[in-house]
A and B are shown apart, each in its own frame.
Chain A
């Protein structure tokens, strides 16, 4: 994996965290590890577009150097793939701006170049966006109120995989849910790039009560590290084990 990999967490939730750590500060800690935190807030059909309870969605993403959107379940597919792509571009942009600063000095970023030169930088960034490896951890809130949105979530993830498949670079995704009866987060699918495995995961989603978003984020983020050490990407052996029954990391 190494240098050319963009790492993201995609949190799909429909409400405010109500237990445990502050998800906003956890999110900024995760961002410092080079993992961006994107958040999608799912609205009830009768909710207004800007409900108070979901303001946390934007704050978590902001703290996590990520992108956020608040949408109705019907628009989930379109949003999930767009957020993922935008966040990836944003990460690459940040990286390229850093490089520019090394070359041209402190104050330089892409926007301080004249528009004509910017075009060339843009092409380099697009090339990177198309070819870099992408690692997305999908963290799904399965508290009781999410129950009727699960089919929309599944469809959106199917759609996301379709978009990822179209890229030239490799991608790996894993799926975690929170909360479950016994654990804060539970791994449903270990790192894989096989979209067909999504279908087998969804029946396993059991829906719980509370929303401990902060702890869930912290726990889920650990998966990035354990996997880098284990070199899971290299060996397909893990794919055989039904990972959802492993202990929480």
Chain B
């Protein structure tokens, strides 16, 4: 088993029966594949669920352990609900471990960025900081924080963190990470799990929202700070991002405070500019606008009269 990739290939219609809890799942399709296993959409008792299976049983045990802990948190939903943990024999052959969790339906933040770029970036960031705050209060870092692991749930329109493979106790080596979201890769700090590790990744997520250019894994030019100014669609957040990259926020809440402040400023600016445009371009039936229209009409008449007067004079 040592040399083999952890992927377990399953196909639509495959049935998995749990050895211990005897529940039977029907595989619908592949949802995602990672370095530690694959997640499938499955059905059980007319319920749609997400099922993660790996050739490495410790992955299943570790992640279900984390989900159990997160599920205990009241108030916010930090991870998908854990529904089952079991072993199964695939096609009468080898035995594999799997766990079953709630299926969070919706668009990943990655897809959202592709379709909407920086729209709602401030709101999303603020909400994510709230989750991180709750998670950090438990003494855990999320670890593998990236847009692919965040889903905007269709039903509730809330953001959800769906992959807990990287969740790590503070002070330990981050369990799983993705290169460009990793503080260590950019040489801006260690891989020890702490609050600032997640805030760093979140800052990279914000940069990734800029659809005009994407960060790529490159062996040269590793200075993310120097490149920050070139991401121009997120200019209002540059300072916050810079501070998060440098580890200046020791807590998610202090970063949230500044993000919220910028959000409010942007909102008032936007409101002002729309009001402005409103007066200039969009005449409607309200009284005030009627008034400007009247002025418009009289001035047009006046101009015509002036031109006429000039013409008569020259003749």
Contact = CB atoms under 8 A, between A and B. Distances in A.
Interface of A: 58, 61-62, 65-68, 74, 77-78, 82, 86-87, 89-90, 93, 110-111, 114-116, 118-119, 121-123, 125-126, 130, 151-152, 155, 159, 162-163, 165-168
Given A68-B2, A115-B85, A166 B191 contact: yes
Nearest to B61: A122
Interface in B166-193: 171-174, 179, 184-185, 190-192
Given A114-B20, A115-B64, A163-B184, 14 more contacts: A61-B2, A61-B3, A78-B179, A111-B87, A111-B95, A115-B97, A119-B61, A121-B61, A125-B58, A126-B62, A166-B174, A166-B184, A167-B173, A168-B171
Contacts of B185: 77, 159
Interface of B: 2-3, 20, 35, 56-58, 61-62, 64-65, 68, 85-87, 95, 97, 171-174, 179, 184-185, 190-192, 217, 219
Main SS class of interface, A: helix
Contacts of B20: 114-115
B1 to A, nearest CB: 9
Nearest to B190: A166
Contacts of A90: 2
B191 A163 contact: yes
Given A61-B2, A66-B2, A166 B192 contact: yes
B170 to A, nearest CB: 12
Nearest to B218: A74
A164 to B, nearest CB: 8
Nearest to A114: B20
Contacts of A163: 173, 184, 191
A122 B58 contact: yes
Contacts of A155: 219
Given A89-B58, A159-B184, A166-B192, A115 B87 contact: yes
Contact of A165 (B56, B64, B68, B190): B190
Nearest to B99: A115
B87 A67 contact: no
Contacts of A121: 61
Contacts of B184: 159, 162-163, 166
